[in-house]
Amino acid sequence: MRHSTRRHFIELIGSAGAVSSMAAWPIVAGGGQSAGRVVIIGGGFGGATCAKYLRRIAPAITVTLVERESSFVTCPFSNAVLGGLYDIDFITHHYDALRDAHGVEVIQDRASTIDPAAKTVALSAGSTLTYDKLVVSPGIDFQWGAIDGYDEAASEQMPHAWKAGPQTLQLRKQLEAMPNGGVVIIAAPRNPFRCPPGPYERASMIAHYLKQAKPRSKILIYDAKDTFSKRPLFEQGWKALYPGMIEWIPESEGGAIEAVDVRSMTVHPTFGDPQTGDVINMIPPQKAGAIAQVAGLAGDGGWCAVDQRTFESAVHKDIYVIGDAAVANPMPKSGFAASSQGKVCATSIAASLSGLEMPEPSYSNTCYSLVGPDYGISVAAVYRAGAEGIVSVEGAGGISPKDADTAFRSAEASYAVGWYQSITADIWG
């Protein structure tokens, strides 16, 4: 049952200015009869946002969220857990509010296959869901084998910790067990990958821990790139807080790792000497989550091409891919970006199911990084999507100033915590 009119919809969009921030108004009121059935795979940043905002925009739409885990552990602030600033409970979120307060049907199961022709999703436990629209937000999977010797079994010895949870705890346990004066190796992948500033924030948080507990230790960042996100700001922070502790080795100086030997805890760069470590955090190359590969949504590079105005798949009609799995550059693969895309996607689906026109979308992203507990840096951007795809809006956003004083860095560190608390409440609250 549809009570809204096209004019009403456009007025609502207009009053909000941007689609990604307008999603709090119902555009399709509930009338007892479902206005369509949407299935969402993945209850992380993209999928959970999309589920909640679809229900808020269009309460008459039936929304089913399929998530394989019973709770969600965020990668944002998992580096702070490694640094000993928080424990894992701080970054663990539950689905009760989505289910009880927002009317999302949450099924804990793994989506195993998608049939785009029949418009069905098969679940591991045996049942099959039908959909009018399907949203796929599975995050990332790893390109096992891209680095010789590094497979899922090897990740028990050399954790990636690039999906938060048991791997985060495993890496923290290894840091606690290593000797004072030991070597921690962090191997960062080539672009594109989840969270461009993540490996460098991780080095910072590990340095924070080592500085207190094992101050003679060293961190070597082996990098498959010759530069990285917020590099001047990170390097300035490392010099101020952890002088001599962190060494960054770019690709051009032998930073790209091509093989590992788990038994001898050694990494082998493409050129230069092998290096042993007491703790090795291997972050391998990535691709869209497995279900996107199985369903044929991903292209050669492993990521999923979409219409960047609606996030509908370029391959299959009525299937939308959001978050890390989607090709959305220049937006980074971040939680903020995934959530922003989740809101645009919810609007796009609500409009489509209501026979209404999709308004002009806009997106935003802010990435805070903690260099120390009282030392934060950030980068922010606003994007719009036109016929040419997603583009940055010139003059909007920016990066923390290089010459900021300690009060500024400290304020940014507290904004980082505020950002985390508000986005997680917005998504899972």
Ligand X SMILES: Cc1cc2nc3c(=O)[nH]c(=O)nc-3n(C[C@H](O)[C@H](O)[C@H](O)COP(=O)(O)OP(=O)(O)OC[C@H]3O[C@@H](n4cnc5c(N)ncnc54)[C@H](O)[C@@H]3O)c2cc1C
Return all residues near 193 (Cβ < 8 A) that are at least 6 apart.
140, 283, 285, 286, 333
> Closest approach of Cβ 75 to ligand X, in Å?
3
Binding to ligand X by residue 194, rule CB under 6 A? yes
Piece of the chain touching ligand X by CB under 6 A; list 4-12, 43-51, 251-259, 347-355: 43-51
> Closest approach of Cβ 375 to ligand X, in Å?
15
> Closest approach of Cβ 124 to ligand X, in Å?
8
How far apart, in whole angstroms, are the C-alpha atoms of residue 134 and residue 37? 9
User: Cα separations (Å) of 386 from 17, 144, 366, 389, 398?
Assistant: 16, 36, 21, 5, 22
Phi, psi of 116 (to 5 degrees): -65, -25
> Closest approach of Cβ 52 to ligand X, in Å?
13
Kindly write down the DSSP assignment for every residue of 53-107, as one continuous string.
Answer: HHHHH-TTSEEEEEESSSSEE-STTHHHHHTTSS-GGGGEE-SHHHHHTT--EEE
Binding residues for ligand X restricted to 197-216, rule: CB under 6 A: 198, 202
Q: Which of 83, 289, 359, 376 contacts ligand X by CB under 6 A?
A: 289
Q: Which of 59, 138, 237, 376 contacts ligand X by CB under 6 A?
A: 138
How far apart, in whole angstroms, are the C-alpha atoms of residue 16 and residue 26? 13
Q: Which of 53, 150, 234, 336 contacts ligand X by CB under 6 A?
A: 336
Q: What angle do CA 80, 83, 85 make, to 5 degrees?
A: 60
> H-helix or E-strand containing 379?
strand 375-386
Binding to ligand X by residue 83, rule CB under 6 A? no
**Residue listed under structure tokens 């001047």:** 232
Using CA atoms in the order 152, 158, 161, 167, what is the torsion angle rounded to 10 degrees? Answer: 70
> Closest approach of Cβ 147 to ligand X, in Å?
17
**Nearer Cβ to ligand X (310/354):** 310
Closest chain position to ligand X (CB): 44
Give the SS3 label for residue 172: helix
> Closest approach of Cβ 77 to ligand X, in Å?
7
Binding to ligand X by residue 75, rule CB under 6 A? yes
Piece of the chain touching ligand X by CB under 6 A; list 71-79, 217-225, 305-313, 393-401: 71-79
Return all residues near 278 (Cβ < 8 A) that are at least 6 apart.
174, 178, 179, 182, 183, 184, 265
**Nearer Cβ to ligand X (56/194):** 194
Are 365 and 383 a contacting pair, CB within 8 Å? yes
Binding residues for ligand X restricted to 404-423, rule: CB under 6 A: none
Binding to ligand X by residue 340, rule CB under 6 A? no
Piece of the chain touching ligand X by CB under 6 A; list 22-30, 148-156, 193-201, 259-267: 193-201
> Closest approach of Cβ 140 to ligand X, in Å?
7
Binding to ligand X by residue 98, rule CB under 6 A? no
Q: Which of 79, 229, 286, 348 contacts ligand X by CB under 6 A?
A: 79
Size of the site for ligand X (CB under 6 A): 38
Count other C-beta atoms under 10 Å from residue 87's C-beta. 12
Give the residues lining the site for ligand X (CB under 6 A). 41-47, 66-69, 72, 75-76, 78-79, 110-111, 137-139, 162, 194-195, 198, 202, 289, 291, 323-325, 333-336, 338, 367-368
